[in-house]
Structure 1
Amino acid sequence: MNYSSGLVLIDKPVGMTSNDAISIVKSRLPGAKVGHTGTLDKFAQGLLIVLAGKLTRLTPLFMKEEKEYRAIFHFGIQTDTLDPDGKVIAEADCPEASTIENTLKKFEGEIMQKPPLYSAVHYKGKRAYKMVRMGNIPELIERKITIFSIENLGYDPPFLHLKIVCSKGTYIRSLARDLGLSCGSRAYVEKLERTRIGAFPVKDSVAPRDFNPEKDLRSSKCAFTALGIPVHLIKGEYYKKIARGIPLNDLFFEYPPERDGLCALFDRKERFAALIEKRGKKYRYHFVGAA
Structure 2
Amino acid sequence: MNLEGFAVIDKPTGLTSYSLLGKISRKLGPRVKAGHAGTLDSFASGVLVCLFGRYTRMSDFFMATTKSYEALMVFGSETATLDPEGHEIARAPVPTLYDLQSALPSFLGGIMQVPPVYSALHVGGERAYERVRKGQEVVLPPRSVTIHRLELKSFEDGKALVSVDCSKGTYIRSLARDIALECGSRGHLLALRRTASGPFHLAGAVGLEEFDATRIRSMDPEVATGLGLECRTLEGTEAVAFSNGLPMGRMPSFAAAPDSTSVAVFDTAGEFLGIASPKPAPSIAWRYAFVLERPH
TM-score after normalising by structure 2 = 0.87
Give the C-alpha shift of residue 130 in structure 1. 0.9
CA 1:236 to 1:23, structure 2 compared with 1: closer, same or farther past 3 Å? farther
Distance 2:274 2:40 in 1: 30
Q: Which residue of 1 aligns with 2:176?
A: 176
Q: Which residue of 1 aligns with 2:73?
A: 73
Q: Which residue of 1 aligns with 2:24?
A: 25
- SS state at 1:220 partner: coil
- SS state at 2:95 partner: coil
Give the C-alpha shift of residue 251 in structure 1. 7.0
Letter in 1 for 2:198: G
Distance 1:290 1:203 in 2: 30
Letter in 2 for 1:143: R
Letter in 2 for 1:38: G
Give the C-alpha shift of residue 259 in structure 1. 7.9
Give the C-alpha shift of residue 137 in structure 1. 1.5
Give the C-alpha shift of residue 141 in structure 1. 1.1
- SS state at 2:102 partner: helix
Asked if 1:163 corresponds to 2:163, the answer is yes
Structure 1's unaligned 5+ residue stretches are: none
Letter in 1 for 2:138: P
Distance 1:26 1:71 in 2: 29
- SS state at 1:228 partner: coil
Letter in 2 for 1:144: S
CA 1:118 to 1:4, structure 2 compared with 1: closer, same or farther past 3 Å? same
Q: Which residue of 1 aligns with 2:265?
A: 265
CA 1:284 to 1:115, structure 2 compared with 1: closer, same or farther past 3 Å? closer
Structure 2's unaligned 5+ residue stretches are: none
Distance 1:249 1:79 in 2: 55
CA 1:159 to 1:289, structure 2 compared with 1: closer, same or farther past 3 Å? same
Distance 2:269 2:32 in 1: 21
- SS state at 1:23 partner: helix
CA 1:98 to 1:188, structure 2 compared with 1: closer, same or farther past 3 Å? same
Asked if 1:83 corresponds to 2:83, the answer is yes
Distance 1:185 1:264 in 2: 47
Letter in 2 for 1:218: R
State, as a whole percentage, how many aligned pairs show the same letter: 37
Paired residues, what number?
288
- SS state at 1:58 partner: helix
Letter in 2 for 1:208: L
CA deviation vs aligned residue, 1:235-286 (integer Å, no higher than 9, x gap)? 3555554343223478787xx999855332233444322322479x965422
Distance 2:136 2:4 in 1: 42
Q: What is the Cα-based RMSD across aligned positions, in Å?
A: 2.7
Distance 2:178 2:278 in 1: 44
Range with greater deviation from structure 2 (264-273 or 92-101): 264-273
- SS state at 2:47 partner: strand
Range with greater deviation from structure 2 (28-37 or 99-108): 28-37
Give the C-alpha shift of residue 108 in structure 1. 1.1
Letter in 1 for 2:8: L
